[in-house]
Structure 1
Amino acid sequence: MPTPVLLSRGLDPVLGIFTGFFAYYLHETHPRTAPPPDKQLAALVQWKWAKWKREREEKLNALEREAEASSKVVG
């Protein structure tokens, strides 16, 4: 039995992704279902990005301090 196809094998996934994004957009913007501004996707992504940058900067600073300390010991 062949698999059911709505439009075509290539267009069905695109339609599914578009439908998902559109449903999420409507969920975020509808007055009844809209989350508070600090809980919306854009704010959460900005928070996560800032957290990742801060942790990365701390890690790089620690590596630089370690490299400087080891170069002073060797030199």
Structure 2
Amino acid sequence: MDSVTLTFDQGTYEYIVDKAIEFKLGARGLRSIVEAIMIDAMFTLPSEEKKKLHVTREYATHQLENSDLHHLRVA
């Protein structure tokens, strides 16, 4: 996401960590959670005029609930 300014609310960080703990995931799991939250933006923002994205806890929750992340578990 070149040339896109990305910011997160503090509550978003806490939400991501809470989900990693809930799913019993490590560092790779954290990456999977962030990717699930950001996947739509990663594909749409580069082609849009909008070059800023502020990720709120509500946005993260919505994106995660609509992802396949619930399949993640520790092997």
Q: Greater strand percent: which structure?
A: 2
Structure 2 length-normalised TM: 0.25
Structure 1 length-normalised TM: 0.25
Higher relative contact order (CA closer than 8 Å, sequence separation 6+): 2
